[in-house]
Chains A and B, each alone.
Chain A
Amino acid sequence: MQPTKSKSTRYQPKGLYITAAALLTISAAFSVSDQFADEWLDSFTNGLRGPSPIQWRDRDAALGEAKRTKKPILYAFLARHDNASLQMYGDGFHDQKVADLINQGFIPVRVDFNSRDYVHKSKLYTQLHNQYGYSATCELLTVPAHMTDMSSSDLESSANLSEACIDNTAGLERGDRYNQSYNSRYRRGYVRSDGLGFTNNSPKFIGYTNKRDLLDYLYGAQHWHRLPPTKGKVAWLPLSVASAPLTSKPRLIAFVDNAGTASDNMRLDTFWNARDYKLINQEFEPVLVEFRHGDTAFNKPLEKLKEKYGIVTLPALVIDSSNFADPIVQFGNSNSGSTHEFLKSAVKKAATKL
C-alpha cells in the first residue's frame, strides 16, 4: 500500500519547535548577559551602541569645557533596557536637527546604565544621583555652566525665574507662589498624562515623546539660563547708593545670587509680595547687590560690600540706618512672614533715636 502524502492531523512541526527553542535560548542568553555579564553579547543586547552624530564628552572633560566656553552641559541619562531610552537614542539623537542643535549649543554627556549599575552603584552613578536625584531611566538634564555645583532643585527653581516668565502676578503679590502659575507666558512644553515630556522651561526632559518636543526642549534649554532673574516690584536704587552716606531713611541692601533656590525664593517671597515691596518702597532706600554665581571677576567688587557687613552666605538682607549702632542682618531666606516681621521691626527701630 502506497503511503499517503498528506500529513497526519497530529503532525509535530519539528522546524517550529527547533526555531522556538533556539530563540528561547538566545533570549535567555540576552537576559542573563544583561543581568550577569556586562560585556558578553553586549554588541547585540545593547541598543544604545553604534555610531552617534552627537559628539559625546566624558563628565570631567565637559566640566572643564563648560568653564571655558560657558556652554551648558546636557546630561543624557539612558538605560539600555528601557524603551524610552532606545527611542531617545535611535529616533531623537539620530535626527540631524537635534544632533546639530546639541553639538552647537551644548556640551553633551551621555550616562548609560545597564541593570548592574543600579546594584553596583558606580562612582559616576553615586555622584550624579546625589547631586541631581534623577531616576536613572530616560532623562535629559541641562546644567548651565555657572550652575555645575548646584542641585536639581536649584536648577528647576532658577529655570523658571526670568522676568519674562512672570505674567500672573496676583498670586505672587498675595505671597502665594505655590498655588499660582507665574510662568505660563513662557510655557512651551507640556507633561503628558503619563508623566513624560517637560514643563515650561524646566531643565529636565523626562522619557521620550517625539522629536518636536525634544527640539522644543532644546531651544528652551539654550536660553532660560541666559535670561536675568526677576527683581520683583521693589524700586531698586543704583548700586552706588550702597556705598553713599546714609540719609534719613534706613537703607535696605539685599544680597542675592543669580541662581539657586534660596535666592530665588527670596525674590518670589519678598520682592514680589505686595505687603513687603510696598513697605520697602515706602520706608527704605532699597539697593540690590546681585552676584553672578561662579563669576569671580564680576563678583570681586561686590565682595567688599559683603565683607563690610559680614555676609557669608547668600541671600541676606542688611538694614542700616543713621539711628543704628550697627546694621541689622537677616541671613538666608527666612519665610515670608518672618522677613516681613524683620522689616517691620527695623522700621520701628530706625524711628527710635539712639
Chain B
Amino acid sequence: MNRAVCITTWREFKANRVRVILLTLLFLGPIAMFTLQRCSNPEALNADMLSHPLMASFFTLLWASGVIGREVQNGTIALVLARPITIANYVVSKWFAVGFAASLCAVEAVFCEHIISAVNCPSLLWAPEFFANSIERIILCFGTAAFLVFLSSLVSGLKDLALLAGFAFMFLLYSAFAHTVYQMASFVHLDHEYVLHFGRIIESLFIAILFPYVPMSVFLSGSYFAYGPLIALFTLITCCLSCSIWVLTHREFSYAAD
C-alpha cells in the first residue's frame, strides 16, 4: 500500500466543495433526525434506534465515485504510474483510502448518535448495539469501496455512477420480473424448481455485491460462527480488486485529458 496515493485521494476529496457539502449533509441529516426523535419521544430511548448501517454505503459512494476514473480522465494516472508504484499497489491504496475515510465518517456519525443517546440515557453508554453497528459500518465501507473502485477502473470520469445505477436498475428489473421468468420456464419445458434455485443464486449475488452486510452481533455473542456472509465479503473484495487491477494493467493511459 502506498501512503502518498492514500493522502492524495483524501486531499483531492477535500478540494471538491460539492462533495464536502454532500458529506456534511449526509453526516448531519441523520443526526438531526435522530436528535429530534430523542427529544420528541424520550420514553422510546433504545439503542436500536441508531441509524441503519446501510448509511455507510452512502458515505462510501461519496468518497469512491470516480476515484480512479477521474485520474484516468484528466491524465494524472499516467503521472502517478510513472513513479515506482505498481498498478496493483495503486488500486489497493485507492481502495484502502476510500474504505478508511468512509469508515471514519460512518463511525463518527454513529458515535455522535450514540453520545446523544448516552446523554439522555446513560445506561446505553456501553450498549453492544453501538459496537456491532460500528463494525458493520466498517465492513460495509470496505466491501462497497472494493466494488466502486472496480467500477471506477472500468470507465473514466464519474461514469462509474452510471454503471452503478445500471447495476442497481438490473437488480430492480430482476426483482420485478423474476417470477414471470420462472413461470416462462415451464413453457419451454425447463424444471421450474431448478430455475427458481438459479434465480435465488442470482438474487444472492446481487445482494452480496450491493449490500455486503455481515451481522456482527452474531459473532460478538460468541455463538456458532456463520461463515457464509464473511466469505461472501472477502470474495467480493478480492474479486473486485483483482478485476480492477487486471483491467488497469491491460489499458493504455495517456497524459492528455480524456
Tell me, yes or no, whether A binds B.
yes
B47 at the interface (CB under 8 A from A): yes
A32-B201, A83-B213, A87-B218 are known contacts. Are A11 and B87 too (CB-CB below 8 A)? yes
How would residues 233 to 250 of chain B score, 1 for a CB under 8 Å from any chain A CB and 0 otherwise? 011001101100110010
Partner of B234, one of A23, A45, A192, A212: A23
C-alpha gap A297/B234 in the complex (Å)? 62
A26 at the interface (CB under 8 A from B): yes
Tell me whether chain A's interface is mostly helix, strand or loop, or mixed: helix
A26-B231, A209-B48 are known contacts. Are A19 and B220 too (CB-CB below 8 A)? no
How would residues 1 to 39 of chain A score, 1 for a CB under 8 Å from any chain B CB and 0 otherwise? 000001111111100110110011011001110011000
A49 at the interface (CB under 8 A from B): yes
Which residues of A have CB within 8 Å of B225? 47, 50
C-alpha gap A278/B223 in the complex (Å)? 59
Q: Which of B41-92 contact A (CB under 8 A)?
A: 44, 46-48, 81, 84-88
Contact present for B228 and A36 (CB under 8 Å): no
The smallest C-beta distance from B34 to any residue of chain A, in angstroms, reads 13
Q: Which of B140-160 contact A (CB under 8 A)?
A: none
Interface 9-mer from A90-98, A153-161, A178-186, A257-265: A90-98
The smallest C-beta distance from A9 to any residue of chain B, in angstroms, reads 5
Tell me whether chain B's interface is mostly helix, strand or loop, or mixed: helix
Interface size class of A (residues with CB under 8 A): 35 or more
Contact present for A31 and B204 (CB under 8 Å): yes
B200 at the interface (CB under 8 A from A): yes
The smallest C-beta distance from A122 to any residue of chain B, in angstroms, reads 14
Partner of A213, one of B48, B84, B194: B48
A16-B88, A210-B48 are known contacts. Are A90 and B227 too (CB-CB below 8 A)? no
Partner of A23, one of B193, B200, B221, B238: B238
Interface residues of A, Cβ cutoff 8 Å to B: 6-13, 16-17, 19-20, 23-24, 26-27, 30-32, 35-36, 44-45, 47-51, 81, 83, 86-87, 89-91, 93-95, 115-116, 119-120, 190, 192, 209-210, 212-213
